Structure 1
Amino acid sequence: MSSQPETYEFQAESRQLLNLVVHSIYSNKDIFLRELISNASDALDKLRLESLLDSALDADTSDLHIALETDSEQRTLTVRDNGIGMSRDEVVQLIGTIAKSGTAEFARKLKEAREAQDAAASAELIGNFGVGFYSSFMVADKVSLVTRRAGEAEGTRWESSGEGTYTLAAVADAPQGTEVTLHLKPEDTEDHLYDYTAEHKLRAVVRQHSDFIPWPVRMETEKPKEGGEGGEGDEAGGTERVVETINSMKALWSRSADEITEDEYKEFYKHVSHDWTDPLETIHTRAEGTFEYQALLFIPSRAPLDLFQQGARRGVNLYVKRVFIMDDCESLLPDYLRFVKGVVDAQDLSLNVSRETLQQDRQIQLMHRRLVKKVLSSVKSMRTKDADKYRTFWGEFGRAVKEGLLSDYENREAILEVSSFPSTHDAEEQTGLRDYVSRMKEGQDAIYYLTGESRTRLENSPHMEAFREKGLEVLLLTDPVDEVWVEQVREFDGKPLQSIAKGQVDLDGEKDDEDDSAKDAKNAERAQREKDFGPLLGWLGTALAEDVKEVRLSSRLTTSPACIVGDADDVTPTLEKMYRAMGQELPRIKRILEINPDHPLVTALRASYEKDSGDAALTETAELLHGMALLAEGGELKDPARFTRVLAGRLAAGL
């Protein structure tokens, strides 16, 4: 018994998206069946889990399975499961709305891929945005869905021809679970539309894409009768129709790595990740002894679109003795490894474990520590043995991995070992800290770095001048997270990390091979300069008191007249901006103005001051000097209009 169907329209955005999916140039149309079987498998997993957690759930779990049924005359294919099912509201939410989040972005990118005739890009986008159910319309003119949630009395029928509308009706006698019936389009080999009612085709698709599904996929097949094929009991035709399980149901992670092909790994990854590209790296591991578990983890080849979005799904699937417990188990891996996908199967964990108790479970914590070390060691091995693969990994996930330098003190050294950073050593290739240390010059006792918004800005910074002249390598850190972790990570391999924009820099101290007389001569020269420039420094400190806390001579400048530096423990200007953007007000931080005693502008300013210390134009020159130093490091002027007027006036006076 069913109620009269009610017709609804897809949202305008969803209609556009559905049209793109149906008419995309996606070449491997077999994938629609894998999507439907994967959805059915998820429904069975969820029913098993809910029945374990809720003993009062009125649900039949005695024979959980997936069934494929065909009708060659009517050209229909039905995928049925007796899993958790859906309520009417869930049908509207999950089926009636396509790609609930990111619909417009998906539509735009898929349209671009289609116009570019890029089938691979289209396939990848379909997987990334989770609209696999609608891939059914690539092979079907109409799709019908009948479902009833376990524990509810009434079911729901959903039906659509993919033309922008769908119907909903109540079904009183619907069985538990979900049944999806595809009214197939005619065969078209040019468009890769095959006969999806043919037994051999369905068997081949299931074997290729869904052989590892942990639930039986059953289909009625034609088999020789017992005693047939020429035997005395053979009747005409010698065959009969029998229901057969057509997938192996072998949990891939429980098999030896020697028994698994690369293609099997790839297909399993695509199942658990809903990604359409091959994984970059496969990590198959097991632990034996007092606490046993098996893990099959994958590093994707591309970062997901929501890698840095709040609320994005992350984590791996947790099983206990091959029984599904939960997906997106965040307790097994830290947030900075949120891109890792896969399965962890524990042997001794309680089946009733909940998300609330995971953090306190000792065995979960033990698995967490071991899995983190395994992933990081795999990345380190990748870096050593396959530079191209590592380069891809770091380009996609390096920014996320560096977050671990802030949160995972236990593995901080391991994270530093697998990290790479841009540096002045090579304009194209990034470097590791271990490689940086191996190239340090004799007498150099620190790892130098500079943080900022872009490599170009950092390379042109006045702070770089003396380091460039002396051939000292500097790390150029431009990721926002770099501003934070360098404040907490003080050293690597016994070498301190030192910002070249903070504190005092004495590069002459790098030359330990100088004799005592040479050092004495330099010290005497430095003392004399301090004495000669003392009055000017004192006056500048007073004239610029509102903006700087100190004015001193610089040993890091060679061509620029001045630069702005901070004390060793000061917050950097970029980090200060980040805090303010997040709504965190900070007290104003005054910084230090360093001047180059050899620059003509500074020597002329000193001469003018000694000639007439009361000249009003000197104050304007001091403001210009400070403003130029701010602009050189990418800072913001307190009063740009005044700076422009003063500069224009001084230029006009000199013409």
Structure 2
Amino acid sequence: ALDKRKFEDMSSGESTTGDMKIQIIPCRDANRLIIRDTGIGMTKADLISFLGTIARSGTRAFMEAVSAGATDMSLIGQFGVGFFSAYLAADKVKVVSKHDKDEAHAWESEAGGEFTVRPATPEEDGDNILERGTSIVLSLKDDMEEYLSEDRIKELVKKHSQFVSYPIELLIEKEIDVEEKVEEEEEKKEDEEKKEGEEEEEEKKDDIEVEEGSEEEEEKKPKTKTVKKKVEEFERLNTQAAIWTRRPEEVTEEEYKEFFKTLGSEWDEPLAWKHFHFEGSLEFSAILYIPKRAPFDLFDSKKKRKNIKLYVRRVFIMDDCEELCPDWLSFVRGIVDSEDLPLNISRETLQKNASMNTIRKNLIKKVIELFKEVAEDDDKFKTFYEQFGKNVKLGIHEDGDSRKKLSSLLRFKSTESPDDLTSLDDYVTRMKDKQEKIYFIAGESIESIAHSPFVERLQTKGLEVLFCTEAIDEYCIQSLKDFEGKEFQNITKEGLVLPEEEDEKTKREELAKKAESLCEYMKGVLGSKVEGVKCSDRLVDSPVVIVTAEYGWSANLTRIMRNQALSDKSMFDIMAAK
């Protein structure tokens, strides 16, 4: 209503006055809550057309749903414009509205499907008749007195409307100090008490020589006293600025940090942030933050995520919208404010809304850009990777569209970098001539895999091996498959291909031929316990090693699966190493 008034005033060349606001007036004695706006208002025809039509068609269905236990506020959007959510708290609703093109009228209904529209009168409607605008009078149910509480109203406005661009004012009662004139009798009594002291002062003055033309005595001022008095006044509730509506270069670093703390229970400063506006098939603004610390329950699947707040035209809609952000980005905090989504959008319609998919894709794109900006600062990225490295790997595992973009963020320790993390980019630059694969080994700790027999031959040939010690590492690499055209090779599996010269290849083939009968004998002894016995050049000091079938579970993955509380033991016979 206020936006429409502003648009009409601008279109007609009139200057928009400064009285555009929303007021909330709790009437505790009458058990009523009044909400006013000085917007465009509604004509009699508007009241009948908008509110009347919904009253006949939507209210009964809405109340039936509520009676049946559908208390989820997201359902409200399915019934009309959401106006009739008022009947969750009120028995009767009256709307008094004045439009420039009509006289003031009052619409009344008790949610029974019937309503009345009449001319508004001072006798029946009093101060609710505005020069222009609308007053909504809610006659609250007996058990809904909480909505008259000053604290409850402030809480709701802060949650849902703290960033609305028009002032939202609440009528509050407060005590102030006022100066009151002392009554005549009280003043006389005070004068008598001081008379004796004044006479003594006069005697002292007589002893002092006063020059001719001295100042006349000041006229006696009326005496006052300070008393407490209860007064009513409007207090603005939405004082916080919606900084995302401004251009990024206009917002200071301190403003970004302070805004981050308002998004939840954050007390620390953010590690980094990204502020952007998107214009295209739809329009939205967003500010996204990376916190410095991961929450202790980051990967708790049962916890309701409230990391991204969704606003529509600066009105809060929800903070647990799974359609906005994938699970692997559950640590990212921020807000999204859309200009195109309807205000009464529900959780069900969000899932079918094409705009949500566009918003989601752009959020993921911008977050990855932010990650790469953080990667340019070694200290920041070290903090980021310590806290959220698993999320990056989870993103590679789950998000096929983002997999390649995220791969450059991966970091591992290796035989060439046992103390510091190295990137895949750096690994590729160190690859030997004729080396076609990126070698890795997965295990429980650096100590256990760094001295593994599987690493022996690669170290003698100067081939770098990545150490993967987190449970998600193998899943991540299996999903990624390759990096810049170089496939990953688990050195604990069969089929290991090492770069070799022609003479090395000839020597290997000769040894394999000589050991052929021995291998057949050992296979016969071991029987079905192994799939095969081969002569290999992957060992240097160790006599024998057991490798996994190329498409089976590695020993490390088998260990991880066995440790799952609800794991299927029958799968081990199929997938485990033989």
Corresponding residue for residue 514 of structure 2 = 532
Distance 2:526 2:74 in 1: 72
Tell me the CA shift for residue 438 of structure 1. 1.3
Question: Which whole-Å CA distance do the structure 2 matches of 1:571 and 1:358 have between them?
Answer: 40
The Cα of 1:62 is off from its aligned counterpart by 11
SS of match in other structure, 1:475: strand
| More displaced 10-residue stretch of structure 1: 320-329 or 531-540 | 531-540
Q: Which amino acid aligns with 2:336?
A: V
- The answer for the alignment partner of 1:375 in structure 2 is 367
SS of the residue corresponding to residue 505 of structure 1 reads: coil
Q: CA shift at 1:293, angstroms?
A: 0.1
Aligned to 1:422: 413
For the structure 1 residues 254 and 288, does the alpha-carbon distance in structure 2 shift closer, same or farther, using more than 3 Å as the test? Answer: same
In structure 2, what is the Cα distance between the partners aligned to 1:449 and 1:150?
Answer: 70
1:334 has 2:326 as partner: yes
Distance 2:340 2:388 in 1: 33
Structure (1 or 2) with the larger CA radius of gyration: 2
Q: Does 1:583 align with 2:575?
A: no
Helix, strand or coil for the counterpart of 1:410? coil
Query: Do residues 394 (structure 1) and 376 (structure 2) align?
Result: no
Paired amino acid for 1:423: S
**Cα deviations across residues 258-297 of structure 1 (Å, max 9, x unaligned)?**
3322222222212213111111111111112331100011
Structure 2 partner of 1:290: 281
Distance, in Å, in 2 between the alignment partners of 1:532 and 1:271 is 74
CA contact (8 A) 1:296 1:344 kept: yes
The answer to whether the 8 Å contact 1:549/1:591 transfers is no
Alignment of 1:197-216 (within 5 A): 216=168
Offset, 1:180? 5.3
Q: Residue in 2 aligned with 1:266?
A: 257
Alpha-carbon distance change, 375 to 150 in structure 1, aligned in 2, over 3 angstroms: farther
SS at match of 1:318: strand
Q: 1:258 to 1:541 in 2, by over 3 A?
A: same
Q: So what's the TM-score if we normalise by structure 1?
A: 0.55
**What do the CA deviations read for 1:78-108 (whole angstroms, capped 9, x no partner)?**
xxxxxxxxxxxxxxxxxxxxxxxxxxxxxxx
- Per-residue CA deviations over 1:447-482 (Å, capped at 9, x if unaligned) read 111112211111121111111122211111121111
Q: Which amino acid aligns with 1:532?
A: K
Equivalent position of 2:121 in the other structure: none
Is 1:551 equivalent to 2:554 in the alignment?
no
* Matches of 1:177 and 1:479, distance apart in 2: 54
Distance 1:362 1:523 in 2: 58
How far is the alpha carbon of 1:364 from its aligned partner? 0.6
Say yes or no: does 1:410 pair with 2:392: no
C-alpha distance 496-180 of structure 1, shift in aligned 2 (>3 A): same
Alignment-derived partner of residue 176 in structure 1: 147
CA displacement, residues 375-426 of structure 1 (integer Å, 9 cap, x when unaligned): 0011111102x11111111110110221111221111111112222222222
The Cα shift of 1:430 comes to 1.2
Query: Is 1:364 aligned to residue 356 of structure 2?
Result: yes
Listed one character per residue, the Cα deviations across residues 120-141 of structure 1 (whole Å, up to 9, x for unaligned) are: xxxxxxxxxxxxxxxxxxxxxx
- Choose from 442, 464, 472 the match for 1:481: 472
Instruction: Point out the more displaced range, 352-361 or 330-339.
Output: 352-361
Once the 2 structures are TM-superposed, how far is the Cα of residue 427 of structure 1 from its aligned partner? 2.1
Cα distance change of structure 1 residues 320 and 150 upon mapping to structure 2, 3 Å threshold: farther
1:305 offset after TM fit, Å? Answer: 1.2
User: Aligned pair 1:501/2:487, yes or no?
Assistant: no
> Pick from 505, 524, 549: which aligns with 1:567?
549
Q: Deviations over 1:625-646 (max 9, x none)?
A: xxxxxxxxxxxxxxxxxxxxxx
Most deviating of 479-488 and 578-587: 578-587
Tell me what 1:57 maps to.
86
Instruction: Indicate which of 146, 153, 157 corresponds to 2:142.
Output: 153
Distance in 2, matches of 1:444 and 1:62, equals: 79
Change in Cα spacing, 1:382 to 1:217, as seen in structure 2 (3 Å) is: farther
Is the CA contact (8 Å cut-off) linking 2:163 and 2:315 kept in structure 1? no
Q: CA 1:522 to 1:475, structure 2 compared with 1: closer, same or farther past 3 Å?
A: closer
Looking at structure 1, the residues matched to 560 and 293 of structure 2 have their Cα atoms a distance apart, in angstroms, of: 27
Structure 1 pair 305–216 and aligned structure 2 pair: CA distance change class (3 A): farther
Shift of 1:217: 7.3
Kept in 2, the 8 Å contact 1:57–1:150? The answer is no
Query: Does the Cα contact within 8 Å between 1:547 and 1:591 map onto a contact in 2?
Result: no
The residue correspondences of 1:130-149 to structure 2 (distance < 5 A) are none
Structure 1 residues 484, 388: closer, same or farther in 2, change over 3 A? Answer: same
Unmatched runs of 5 consecutive residues or more in structure 1:
1-45, 64-148, 156-173, 182-210, 225-234, 512-518, 594-655
User: Does structure 2 retain, via aligned residues, the 8 Å contact 1:448–1:500?
Assistant: yes
Q: Which moved more, 1:317-326 or 1:347-356?
A: 347-356
Change (3 A) 1:217 1:276: farther
In structure 1, distance between residues paired with 2:439 and 2:507: 26
User: How many angstroms does 1:213 deviate by?
Assistant: 5.8
8 Å CA contact retained: 1:317, 1:326: yes
Per-residue CA deviations over 1:193-226 (Å, capped at 9, x if unaligned) read: xxxxxxxxxxxxxxxxxx97657576769899xx
CA distance in 1, matches of 2:527, 2:270: 58
1:502-544 CA deviation, whole Å, 9 max, x = no partner?
A: 12334352x4xxxxxxx2x444432332232222211111112
Letter in structure 2 aligned against 1:569: Y
Residue 35 of structure 2 aligns with which residue? none
Contact 2:350–2:356 (Cα < 8 Å) also in 1: yes
- Residue in 2 that maps onto 1:542: 524
Spell out, residue by residue over 1:582-614, the C-alpha distance to the aligned partner (whole angstroms, 9 max, x if none).
322315158788xxxxxxxxxxxxxxxxxxxxx
Tell me how far apart the structure 2 counterparts of residues 373 and 567 of structure 1 sit (CA, whole Å). Answer: 38
Counterpart residue identity of residue 359, structure 1: Q
Q: 1:451 to 1:247 in 2, by over 3 A?
A: same
Q: Give how far 1:577 is off.
A: 3.8
* RMSD of equivalent CA atoms: 3.7
Sort the Cα spacing of 1:507 and 1:368 in 2 relative to 1 into closer, same or farther, 3 A. Answer: same
Q: Secondary structure at the match of 1:527?
A: helix
CA distance in 1 between partners of 2:397 and 2:444 (Å): 20
Q: How far 1:247 sits from its partner (Å)?
A: 5.9
Residue identity in the other structure for 1:331 = E
Partner of 2:301: 310
Distance 1:152 1:494, change over 3 A: farther
SS at match of 2:515: helix
SS of equivalent to 1:342: strand
Cα offset, 1:152, TM superposition: 4.8
Deviations 1:532-573 (A, max 9, x none): 222221111111224211111121111111111122212223
> Are the counterparts in 2 of residues 376 and 418 from structure 1 also a CA contact under 8 Å?
no
**Partner amino acid for 1:583?**
S
Q: For the Cα contact (< 8 Å) 2:492–2:548, is it kept in 1?
A: yes
Q: Distance in 2 between matches of 1:475 and 1:48?
A: 49
Kept in 2, the 8 Å contact 1:222–1:242? The answer is no
**d(CA) in 1 for partners of 2:422, 2:490:** 17
- 1:354 aligns to 2:346 (yes or no): yes
